[in-house]
């Protein structure tokens, strides 16, 4: 008796409309969940290796830099705060690379922007890699830019999400990296 009634049609229509609403809610929940950082390695733990191919084709493996202080900076050409802190990173790198500082900048631009990345990278002494070819197992996702990962001479993760509200400058770099650079290298790397 209810099959032909207007009430049954309203119930069926409501179920379809409710299904669409449920799908929209689930999609919103998924979007929010994707925006949250995935749990990864924590400071104080052994740093999982970071592997990338630099723009010149040279492979980079953070675990091969044991005995050095490693900074992996994530940036993009379209990110104004990223571009603003790159001169300070370059100056600090030039000053401290002979002290055991390894700095690799990983561009999160898409593949179509590689020439733009190359053009900007040509102004700096530190090597650059593209994010799409970079492997970060154990770190979670890069969820904002700019940000850096810092690994000390012993291969211990010191920072996984390092950034400064006003961008990294000489003082912030020295405050974070200076003590790590002054620490002695592990015995096998002296």
Q: pTM higher than 0.85, yes or no? A: no
- The span from the CA of 171 to the CA of 178, in Å, is 10
Q: Report residue 114: phi and psi, to 5°.
A: -60, -35
Cβ neighbour number for residue 26 with a 10 Å cutoff: 10
Cα 161 to Cα 177: distance, rounded to the nearest angstrom: 14
Task: Name the residue with higher pLDDT: 29 or 59.
Answer: 59
pLDDT at 185: 84
- Confidence class of residue 25 from pLDDT cuts 50, 70 and 90? low
How many other CB atoms are found less than 10 A from the CB of residue 57?
A: 6
Q: Is the pLDDT of residue 1 over 60?
A: no
Question: pLDDT tens across 112-128, in order?
Answer: 999 999 999 999 999 99
- pLDDT tens-digit readout, 155-185: 999 988 777 777 889 999 999 999 999 999 8
- Arithmetic mean of pLDDT, 32-47: 64
C-alpha–C-alpha distance, residues 32 and 111, integer Å: 26
């Amino acid at each position: 008796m209810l099959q032909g009634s207007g009430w049954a049609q309203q119930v069926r229509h409501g179920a379809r409309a409710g299904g669409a609403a449920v799908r929209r809610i689930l999609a919103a929940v998924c979007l929010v969940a994707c925006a949250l950082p995935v749990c990864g390695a924590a400071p104080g733990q052994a740093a999982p290796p970071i592997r990338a191919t630099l723009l010149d084709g040279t492979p980079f493996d953070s675990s091969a830099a044991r005995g050095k202080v490693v900074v992996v900076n994530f940036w993009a050409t379209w990110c104004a705060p990223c571009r603003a802190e790159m001169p300070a990173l370059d100056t600090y790198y030039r000053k401290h690379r002979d002290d055991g500082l390894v700095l690799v900048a990983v561009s999160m631009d898409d593949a179509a922007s590689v020439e733009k990345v190359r053009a900007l990278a040509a102004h700096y002494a530190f090597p650059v890699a593209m994010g799409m070819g970079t492997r970060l197992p154990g770190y979670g996702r890069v969820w904002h830019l700019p940000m850096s990962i810092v690994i000390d001479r012993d291969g211990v993760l010191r920072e996984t999400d390092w950034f400064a509200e006003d961008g990294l400058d000489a003082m912030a770099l020295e405050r974070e990296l200076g003590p790590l650079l002054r620490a002695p290298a592990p015995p096998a790397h002296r």
